[in-house]
Structure 1
């Protein structure tokens, strides 16, 4: 499967080599990761247990929280352990698995955000046909297509990477295995491979972002025909989605739509969309959504009542 591969492991330089800063990195990643798990777990549990959150929007939000959880899990735990144990090596196979999982759940998040925009468009622009168009069966099929599409995207990236021969040096100037740092270590001309990789990830990010922004412009434009109360509710939901889209796609477009060059700021930007965005998303969807907050209160009240009966 590998061509002339003499590398069995890579050395990750991480975010810093300074012992004091490593402790800061450990604390930040641990707090952010635990916050991400807690926030997304609350959303997943609330949606699964609340009958009031049975609409397609919350079905998609459930899968967005799943992708957020797995996206941060693909990177954060290893960084936390490596910093704590001062371990800087990762095996070749573990590196490839991390690349696959990282891109799989990142791509899944993109597709879920698109489905959420489609749901809002149908709900606001085609309200009379909403239940027919966005039926449970249709939503299930759309999410299944999103999972399969994400898998195809990641497999394409992995197959291109595995076609390259790797030799020494094996030092990756990053805290995770990603495609662009790996291409710099290949013992072959990577121009065509990089072009294909950038076309793949870059096109998905850019096209999806443009489609999402255009769809929300259309949605916001159509709100002028709604009542003041309906307009306020729809506007609140759409603004939440737009904030999430900008926070996630901005860093991704910066990283994946340029040639095979790396900048010192790349690692910090990667922290933002691998750890920051999965933490921010639950806050945005709970703080700006009255239905989710009410469902969480009811769930918490039921738990307190059941605990008191015991």
Structure 2
């Protein structure tokens, strides 16, 4: 709606998995390097932890875009609240096994495990090294899932199978892993995503605007400190506040987004609408 007004080619603050908008802040660039090391050096299992809105899922998408073609299939499970047998079935199919006959409600867990094992073998024989991402893993309530994932990693002990398992979630995931010490001990790489600093917040906003095609300033210089104070450097909150700020600026025909605009937008976001 406001793109032409601000001379933008695309929406700079949309919640889309577009790797071209990746901003290499210190925590995010360090996290990406660790994840690339995990996958490319066949370290087995990794952990990516961060609060809500820190960009964990987005970083996984960026990782996928930067890996060589041999690191596929890239399975990204975003609904992990499954039973162990449902998890095995899902992974087997996503990795390329025939869906016919892999029905989690039909007795025969051994059959599904064999199908998963065969598919991993086949992929590795073809020169591929799959990546399995379990997103929102802090929402897993069935502790047997973590036991199943540990058993899945045992496949790696054979010389003809190689894949990466990445667990992604918030801080609660650390508590879950403490109760599953065997899986926790298999985690080779651990990444923690932190919020942006005030300087990174400004650079992040300017980077996204530049990628979207805007070369001239949009936010007043003093607005960036206000933006940081309102969002505490949380990328998702920054995106939402900046997006609405651009909309208000367009509606009011402003030349720059000022601190007052951001404060008004932030208040509107947290204020309940009266009856």
Shorter chain as normaliser: what TM range? Answer: under 0.3
Could you state the TM-score of these two structures normalised by the residue count of structure 2? 0.25
Which structure has the highest strand share of the two?
2
Could you state the TM-score of these two structures normalised by the residue count of structure 1? 0.23
Which structure has the highest helix share of the two?
1
